[in-house]
Amino acid sequence: ETGVTQTPRHLVMGMTNKKSLKCEQHLGHNAMYWYKQSAKKPLELMFVYSLEERVENNSVPSRFSPECPNSSHLFLHLHTLQPEDSALYLCASSQVGFDTFYEQYFGPGTRLTVT
Amino acid sequence: AQKITQTQPGMFVQEKEAVTLDCTYDTSDPSYGLFWYKQPSSGEMIFLIYQGSYDQQNATEGRYSLNFQKARKSANLVISASQLGDSAMYFCAMREGFSGGSNYKLTFGKGTLLTVNP
């Protein structure tokens, strides 16, 4: 596997279900990100993990719970979601440095539908 | 105020012609980076090109070049010799500053849908 992978690619869940999205990066990066992409809206940053510590949480509802067990893996645990949470969830990774900007590399996304 | 503005919801171009996708940005931070990403219908965001605020020359990567006009706060993407596979959404994004929580944040525009006609 190369780059950033995400599973599952598609997910349909009811509002009472619990599910998890998985992301894995094979690039040796030290930061990972969750983004939400809804129709006709700009990409929204949800969470950032740098060196396995959560460094940003963009006012995301508690029904979304991230987990970063190591620098290569990132999970997004979902429970009691709402229909408006239906979206494409993108994972990304990058190096982080304090004197330069590094591009983020994205996975293919998980298309989530909440019924 | 929006930090990244892409004023063209959709653009059409003939195969083999060049096309410019507009992006303007708003920041008071002297240190920032500008990125362009391509998103085909498959969903994956593909990094295309980067321009740093202190870079003296416009960035180029193959058929992609960035027309960086700092005083105008614009960072337009130029795609030369368009190909059918270039049909996709294109997003401009900015990262500001070197320190603090916003150090990690990429702010995206709403995107431009490019269609390349044969």
What does the pLDDT look like over A39-58, one tens digit per residue?
878 899 999 898 777 777 77
Mutate to test the interface with B, among A21, A30, A58, A101 (most CBs of B within 10 A): A101
pLDDT band at B98 (very low <50, low <70, confident <90, very high): low
Q: Which residues contact A111 (CB under 8 A, 6 or more apart)?
A: A9, A10, A11, A88, B43
Percent pLDDT > 70 in chain A is 95
Question: Hey, is the C-beta of B100 within 8 angstroms of any chain A C-beta?
Answer: no
What's the start-to-end Cα distance of chain B, in Å? 38
Contact between residue A97 and residue A30 where contact means Cβ atoms under 8 Å apart: no
How confident is the prediction for chain B on average, in pLDDT?
A: 92
Q: What is the pLDDT of residue B110?
A: 93
- A39-53, A85-99, B46-60, B87-101 — most confident range: B46-60
Contact between residue A88 and residue A37 where contact means Cβ atoms under 8 Å apart: yes
Q: Of B17 and A71, which is predicted with more confidence?
A: B17
**Closest Cβ opposite residue A43 in set B44, B98, B108:** B108
Subunit contact A45:B98, Cβ cutoff 8 A: no
Averaged pLDDT, B51-58: 92
Subunit contact B44:A55, Cβ cutoff 8 A: no
Q: Which residues contact A90 (CB under 8 A, 6 or more apart)?
A: A6, A34, A35, A36, A37, A43, A106, A107, A109, B43, B45
Q: What is the pLDDT of residue A1?
A: 61
Subunit contact B104:A50, Cβ cutoff 8 A: yes
Averaged pLDDT, B33-48: 93
Distance from the B45 Cα atom to the nearest Cα atom in chain A, whole angstroms: 6
Interface of A with B (CB under 8 A): 31, 33, 40-43, 45, 48, 50, 55-56, 88, 90, 92, 96, 98-101, 103-109, 111
Classify residue B96 by burial, with Cβ atoms within 10 Å: 0-12, 13-18, 19+. Answer: buried
Subunit contact B110:A41, Cβ cutoff 8 A: yes
Distance from the B36 Cα atom to the nearest Cα atom in chain A, whole angstroms: 10
Subunit contact B43:A40, Cβ cutoff 8 A: no
Cα distance between residue A5 and residue B62, in whole Å? 26
